[in-house]
């Protein structure tokens, strides 16, 4: 074995595949019973509909290197992601665009008129001097749009009053002064034709890669553990960075997600793949309806049934699956301390969303892994 990769998400599998292609013998371990991390998908047994077990994953990128790389393992559908939001029992397109604005204000504003309206409403606060998330949000889009679509949605995501959240959480809130309601602006977008799991399995399908599941890196009763491997060979670690150091510098803040999945005896529940619910009287943040991610498969799905998944957000504890870094000032101080500790870990490379405590989309994780291979690992001695 020339390289140990801890975690089989997109970051870990990208490094493993590159190393295997270069002739290295790679061991990939994961504490879950499947590969792919949070991108894992599976067919719901009753309907055959592909479900993203850990919430919707939408692939998009403007990085030509990443696009060329991922197309070695999968083709992509022409799916274009569009999101809608149900506010006060009225459905609006998101992100906020000219259609949202005109519908919300029962108007027919031109782009310039809408821009002037939002600028006037946003004058209540200044972006640079805003004291918290709410003030900054109002300074970006104005109070009416902020309160309708962002304030309570954010409160549910963070389980915190937006007035008590740092304005650093947002740098901008997208507002488009056209009727373009595509969610992403990237050059390439789509979903893997055969699903995420098939894509991930192809990445791992190499004679130089061995994958072992249900293996906890911190369980010293099994041989591929931290104590017995660090310093013995190069290691790529993609788990939570605070867990790696046994929380020596304190626990970093993470948000986690809970899901309620349900098979419904209707052909179509909401008419779209993702519907947001920004109002506080609805406990979940959004509902996914998975048959809409792959309309080209309608002939193989149960036509009179559908699968929905309600998504709930909350702060994580140690027993939870961490999803997103909270990234408070205290968290950033803790991360700096962990980065200093990481410098002392011989041959250990920290990567991925959890290992770097950064929010990384899939294409960003893949791009970062390609960079790590190229800049840090490709020349490392076996």
Catalytic residue (one of 172, 246, 281, 299): 172
Distance CA(22)–CA(167), nearest Å, equals 45
Q: How far apart are CA 96 and CA 147, in angstroms?
A: 13
Tell me the three state secondary structure of residue 341: helix
Residue 205 designated active-site: no
Task: State the Cα–Cα distance between residues 306 and 270, nearest whole angstrom.
Answer: 10
Residue 255: pLDDT band with limits 50, 70, 90: very high
How many residues would you count in the chain?
A: 382
| Annotated catalytic residue within 18, 53, 151, 286 | 286
> Is the pLDDT reported for residue 294 higher than 50?
yes
Q: What is the mean pLDDT of the chain?
A: 94
130-149 residue pLDDT tens:
889 899 999 999 999 999 99
Catalytic annotation on 179? no
pLDDT at residue 301 greater than cutoff 50 = yes
Q: Is 24 in the active site?
A: no
Which range is least confidently modeled, 160-164, 171-175, 226-230, 332-336?
171-175
Q: Is 168 among the residues known to form the active site?
A: no
Which whole number is the average pLDDT over 137-162? Answer: 92
Catalytic residue, from 205, 359, 374, 382: name it. Answer: 359
Q: Can you give the pLDDT at residue 54? A: 95
User: Residue 163: its pLDDT value, please?
Assistant: 87
Mean pLDDT is lowest, of 9-18, 157-166, 349-358, for 157-166
The one catalytic residue in 242, 311, 331, 353 is: 311
pLDDT tens digits, residue range 30-54?
999 999 999 999 999 999 999 999 9
Q: The tokens 């963070």 sit on which residue?
A: 158
In order of 129, 340, 369, the CA distances from 329 in angstroms are 18, 17, 27
Rounded-to-integer distance, Cα 136 and Cα 146, Å: 10
Under DSSP, the state recorded for 159 is T
Per-residue model confidence (pLDDT) at position 302? 67
pLDDT given at position 381 = 46
Q: How far is CA 83 from CA 270, 322, 354, in A?
A: 12, 24, 26
Q: What is the DSSP letter of 96?
A: B
Concerning whether 332 is annotated as a catalytic residue, the answer is no
Catalytic-residue membership of 172: yes
Q: Among residues 18, 151, 176, 353, which one is catalytic?
A: 176
Whether the model clears a pTM of 0.85, i.e. scores above it, the answer is yes
Question: What pLDDT is attached to residue 169?
Answer: 76
Biggest alpha carbon–alpha carbon distance for the chain: 67
**Helix intervals (H) in 6-84:** 10-21, 64-70
pLDDT at residue 322, as a whole number: 93
Rounded CA separation 180/196 (Å)? 28
- Catalytic-residue membership of 18: no
Task: Specify the pLDDT at position 158.
Answer: 86
Q: Which residue in 210, 302, 361, 376 is the catalytic one?
A: 361
Q: What percent of the chain has pLDDT over 70?
A: 98
Say whether pLDDT at 382 is over 50: no
Who has greater pLDDT, 157 or 242?
242
Would you say residue 366 has pLDDT above 50? yes
pLDDT band at 380; cut points 50, 70, 90: low
pLDDT of residue 23: 97
Q: Which long-range contacts (CB under 8 A, 24 or more apart) does 105-114 make?
A: 105/144, 111/177, 111/178, 112/177, 114/177
Q: What is the mean pLDDT of residues 105-124?
A: 96
């Amino acid at each position: 074995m020339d390289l140990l990769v801890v975690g089989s998400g997109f970051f870990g599998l990208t490094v493993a595949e590159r190393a295997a292609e270069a002739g290295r013998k790679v061991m990939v371990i994961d504490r879950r019973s499947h590969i792919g991390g949070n991108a894992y998908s599976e067919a719901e047994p009753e309907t055959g509909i592909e479900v993203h077990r850990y919430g919707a994953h939408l692939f998009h990128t403007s990085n030509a290197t990443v696009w060329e790389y991922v197309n070695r393992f999968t083709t992509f559908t022409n799916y274009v992601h569009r999101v809608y939001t149900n506010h006060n029992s009225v459905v609006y397109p998101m992100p906020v665009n000219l259609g949202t604005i005109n519908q919300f204000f029962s108007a027919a504003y031109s782009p310039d008129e809408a821009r002037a309206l939002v600028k006037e409403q946003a004058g209540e606060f200044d972006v640079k001097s805003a004291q918290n998330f709410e003030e900054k949000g109002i300074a970006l889009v104005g109070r009416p749009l902020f309160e309708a679509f962002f304030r309570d949605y954010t409160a549910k995501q963070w389980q915190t009053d937006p007035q008590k959240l740092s304005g650093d959480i947002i740098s901008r809130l997208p507002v488009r002064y056209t009727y373009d309601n595509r969610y992403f602006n990237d050059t390439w977008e789509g979903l893997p034709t055969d699903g995420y799991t098939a894509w991930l399995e192809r990445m791992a399908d190499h004679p130089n890669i061995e994958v072992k599941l249900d293996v906890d890196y911190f369980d010293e009763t099994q041989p591929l553990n931290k104590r017995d491997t660090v310093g013995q060979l190069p290691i790529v670690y993609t788990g939570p960075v605070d867990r790696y150091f046994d929380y020596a510098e304190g626990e970093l803040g993470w948000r986690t997600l809970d899901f309620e999945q349900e098979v419904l005896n209707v052909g179509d529940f909401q008419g779209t793949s993702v519907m947001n619910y920004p109002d506080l009287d609805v406990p979940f943040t959004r509902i996914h309806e998975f048959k809409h991610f792959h309309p080209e498969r309608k002939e193989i799905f149960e036509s009179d049934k559908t699968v929905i998944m309600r998504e709930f957000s909350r702060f994580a504890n140690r027993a939870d699956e961490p999803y997103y870094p909270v990234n408070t000032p205290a968290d950033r101080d803790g991360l700096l301390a962990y980065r200093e500790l990481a410098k002392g870990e011989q041959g250990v490379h920290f990567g991925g969303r959890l290992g770097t405590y950064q929010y990384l989309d899939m294409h960003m994780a893949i791009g970062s892994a390609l960079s790590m291979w190229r800049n840090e690992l490709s020349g490392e001695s076996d």
